[in-house]
Amino acid sequence: MKPLLRILFLWRQRAFSLALGVIVSLAAVGCGVALLTQSGALIAGALLSGTMAASWLLRLLGVGRVVLRYFERLATHAATFRALADLRVWFFRGLAGRAAGGLGFRRAGDMLSRLVNDVEALDGLYLRMMVPLAAALLLLTTLVVLIGWRDPALAVLEGVLFAASSLLLPGIAFRAATGDGARLTAAAAKLRVAALDALTGLREVRAFGAEGRMLATVQARQAALLAAQHEVARRSAWASAGSFLCAQAAILAVLIAASAEPSRGVIALFLTIAAFEAVAGLPRAGVLASHAAAAARRVLEAAAGAHPEADPPRPVPLPQATGLRFEAVRFTWQPDRPAVFDGLTLEVPQGARVAILGPSGAGKSTLAALALKVALPQSGRVLLGGADLATLAAADVRSRIAWLSQATHLFDDTIRANLRLARPDADDAALWAALQAAQLAEFVGTLPDGLDTWVGEAGARFSGGQGRRLALARTLLSPAPVLILDEPCAGLDALTERAFFATLNDAAEGRTILLIAHRLTGVERLDRIWRLSGGRAVAAAA
C-alpha cells in the first residue's frame, strides 16, 4: 500500500484535475442511480397512489446521465494520462540522477519495462480504484439513508452487503493477490529483456546459430507471464463472482422485505440494482491494485532508491580556476576487488596539456570517473580549482569537464543532434569545425544529408572508426574548459591519428587537456606526462 501512497503523493500537482474527475464521476454515478430509482418510483407511484412522478425529472436525469458519463470518462482519463506522463518524466530524472556511471548491472530493457508497463499499470490506481471508491462511499451513504428512512433493519443489511462488495472484497482481493502482482510485473520485464537481448544481439544470434535458444527463452518467459496473468485473472473472476453474489443477496433481501411495503420495495429494488452495478468493478480493481502496487515499487526503486554520490546538502560555489589535483587518493570499485588507486597524487595545472600513460587496467578510465564525480574516493581528495569535489555539486563539476570515454554513446538521431548534445546552441560552423578537428568533416561532407544524416542505433550506420571520431568531435565541441580524452585515437589509422594531434594543438587552445593513452606518437604538444603504475602516478619526462 505504501508505494501506492507515494505515487499518489507524486501526483499532487495534478490534484485539481484528479479531484475534478472524481467530482464529475460522482455526479454521473448519482445521475445514473437516480435515473433507475426514479423509474421505479414512477411505476410504484402510478400503481399504488395513482399519481405520476414528474416526468421532466426522469428526462432530465436521462440526459444528465448520458452527458455526465461522457465528460466523466474524458475527465478521468485525461487526468490519468497527464499524471502518468508526469511520472515517466519523474522516473527518467530519478534514474538519470543515479546513473552518471551508466546502468551498471541494471538492464536497459528492465528500465524500459518500468517506464512503459509499470507506469501503465498505475493507471488503474486512479481510474479503477480511487474514482469507484469515492462513488462507493457516496452510494453507501445514499443507500443506507434512503432505505433506512422507513426500514432501518433492511438498511443495515443492505449497507453491510454493499460494504462487503465494495470495500471488504476488494481489500481481501488486494491482500490475496500481492504475490501475483509482483510476479506479473517481474515476468513482463523479463519477457521484454529476453526479446531485446535477442533483437539487439541479432548479429551474434545469427553468427552463433542461437535463434532456437533465443526463441526458447522468449517462449519460456512468455509462459511465465501468461501463467502470472492467468493467476491474476482467476482471482479477479472469483472476486467478481463474490461481488455479484453480494448484489444478488441484497436484491433478495429487498424482494423479501417488499411484501411488507410494496411501494418502497419497488424503489429500493431499482436503487439496489443501480448501486451495486456502479461498484461491480471494485473487487477486480482490488486484484489490479496489487499489480499496481508491485509496479509502483519497481518504479520507485529505480528512480528514488539509494543515491551513492548524492550532492552535499549545501554545495560550495564552483571556483573559477580549473586546475585538477588528486591528493593521496585511494579507490576501489568494489570492496572485494583490489584497489585501483592507493596513494595516487597528481596534478593537472590550469591550461596545461597533460598525458597519462599506462597499460590496460592501470585505472586510466577510473581516473576520469573520479575527476567527473561519477565515483568518490574512499580516502584522499580530488580538487577542482582548489575545491574538494565532495563539496561541489556534481552538475557543476561536469559543466567544467568534458569526457570522451571508451563507452561514449552515439544516439539514434542525426549527426547534428549527436554533436549538439555537447553544446545545444552550437551553429553549423561550429559543428563543422569540430568535425574538421576530429578528421571527420570530409566524410560527412560526402553524405547527401550532411549533418542531418541519421546515425542509427549506437552509431550502427557508421563504421567503428567513424563513430569514434563523431564522439570525439562531440567532445571537442563542448564549451568545457577541461577536456579528458580517453584514447581519442583508438581505431584510427596512423596518418589520421597524426593529423588529429596536429589539429588538437590548435583546436583546444587555452583549454586544459588530460590525454589518456598507452603511448605517445610524438606529435602531441605536452607540458607534462604522468605514468600510472601500481595504483600511483609517477612523473615522466615531457
Partner 1 sequence: MNEAKQATKTWLRRQTALARRSAAPVAFMGLLGITLAIGQTACAAAALESALVRRAARLDVLLTFSALACLRAGLAILADRAAVTAGSASRRRLRDEVMRALLAAGPSLLHRRHSAELASICIDRVEALDGFFARWVPASLLAVSGPALIAVAVLVADPLASLALVASGLLVPMAMALAGVGAGLASRRQFAALTRLQARFLDRVRGISTIVLAGRAEDEARALAAASAELRVRTMRVLRIAFLSSTALDCAMAVALVGLALHYGHALLDGRMTRPGRALFVLLLVPEFFAPLRSFAAAYQDRLHAEGAAEALVGLPAGAIAEALPALPVRTVEARGVTVGFENVRLTWDAARGPALDGLSFRAPAGETLVIAGPSGAGKSTVLEILLGFVRPDEGRVTLNGADIVTIVPQALMRMTAWIGQRPVLFAGTLRENIRFACPEATDEDIEQATRAARLDGFAAALPNGLDTMVGEGGYGLSGGQAQRVAIARAFLKNAPLLLLDEPTAHLDPATEAEVLDSLRRLALGRTVILASHSAAAHDFGGRRIDLRAGRLAAADRAA
439-478 residues in contact with partner 1 (CB under 8 A) are 443, 447-449, 456-458, 460-466, 468, 478
Q: Using CB under 8 A, which residues numbered 480 to 509 contact partner 1? A: 487, 490-491, 493-494
Stretch that binds partner 1, among 2-10, 126-134, 293-301, 517-525 (CB under 8 A): 517-525
* Owner of C-alpha cell 464529475: 24
Nearer to partner 1, 160 or 195 (CB): 195
Pair type for strands 379-384 and 324-331 = antiparallel
Q: Residue 343, interface with partner 1 (CB under 8 A)?
A: no
Residue 313 CB burial class (10 angstroms; 0-12, 13-18, ≥19): exposed
In angstroms, the CA 216 to CA 197 distance is 13
CA 329 – CA 346 distance, rounded (Å) = 9
List 35, 129, 157, 346, residue binding partner 1 (CB under 8 A): 35
User: Among all chains, which residue has been given the C-alpha cell 581516473?
Assistant: 367
Supply 315's cell numbers.
Answer: 554545495
Selected from 5, 23, 63, 310, the binder of partner 1 by CB under 8 A is 63
Written as nine digits, the cell of 411 is: 544516439
Q: How many of the chain's residues bind partner 1 (CB under 8 A)?
A: 159
Under the criterion CB under 8 A, does residue 522 sit at the interface with partner 1? no
- Determine the interface stretch with partner 1 among 132-140, 150-158, 293-301, 513-521 (rule: CB under 8 A): 513-521
The CB-of-477 to partner 1 minimum distance in angstroms stands at 10
Site for partner 1 in 258-287 (CB under 8 A): 258-260, 262-263, 265-266, 269, 273, 277
In whole angstroms, how close is the CB of 2 to partner 1 at the nearest point?
25
In this chain, which of 65, 183, 297, 511 binds partner 1, going by CB under 8 A?
65
Binding range to partner 1, per CB under 8 A, among 18-26, 169-177, 335-343, 376-384: 335-343
Amino acid of residue 276: F
Give the shortest CB-63-to-partner 1 separation in angstroms: 7
Nearest approach, Cβ of residue 191 and partner 1 (Å): 6
Residue 215: other Cβ atoms inside 10 A: 13
311 binds partner 1 (CB under 8 A): no
Measured from the CB atom, the residue of 427 and 493 that comes closer to partner 1 is 493
Number of helices and strands (H, E) in the chain? Answer: 21, 10
Site for partner 1 in 184-223 (CB under 8 A): 191-193, 195-215, 218-219, 222-223
Residue numbers 118-177 binding partner 1 by CB under 8 A: none
For the CB of residue 486, give the shortest distance to partner 1 in the complex, in Å: 10
Helix (H, G, I), strand (E, B) or coil at 340: coil
Question: DSSP per residue over 168-198, as a string?
Answer: IHHHHHHHHTHHHHHHHHHHHHHHHHHHHHH
Q: Helix %, strand %, coil % for the chain, to 5?
A: 65, 10, 25
**Binders of partner 1 in range 377-436 (CB under 8 A):** 395, 398-399, 402-403, 405-413, 421-422, 424
Q: Shortest gap between Cβ of 371 and partner 1 (angstroms)?
A: 11
Sort strands 482-486 and 512-517 into parallel, antiparallel or unpaired: parallel
Residue from 5, 46, 310, 540 binding partner 1 (CB under 8 A): 46
In the complex with partner 1, which residue's Cβ is closer, 48 or 538? 48
CB 163 within 8 A of CB 277: no
When asked if residue 519 is in the footprint of partner 1 (CB under 8 A), the reply is yes
**Cα distance between residue 114 and residue 335, in whole Å:** 30
Q: Which is nearer to partner 1, 2 or 59 (CB)?
A: 59
Q: Note whether 310 and 501 are within 8 A (CB).
A: no
Tell me phi and psi for residue 233, to 5 degrees: -65, -35
Please give the grid coordinates belonging to residue 425.
546552441
**CA 305 vs CA 60, 97, 114, 302, 309: distances in Å:** 53, 10, 14, 6, 12
For partner 1, the closer of residues 345 and 521 by Cβ is: 521
Closest separation in Å from C-beta 148 to partner 1: 20
Residue 316 binds partner 1, judged by CB under 8 A = no
Q: With binding defined as CB under 8 A, does residue 245 bind partner 1?
A: yes
Going by the DSSP 8-state scheme, the letter that residue 447 receives in this structure is S
| Residue 323 in contact with partner 1, rule: CB under 8 A | no
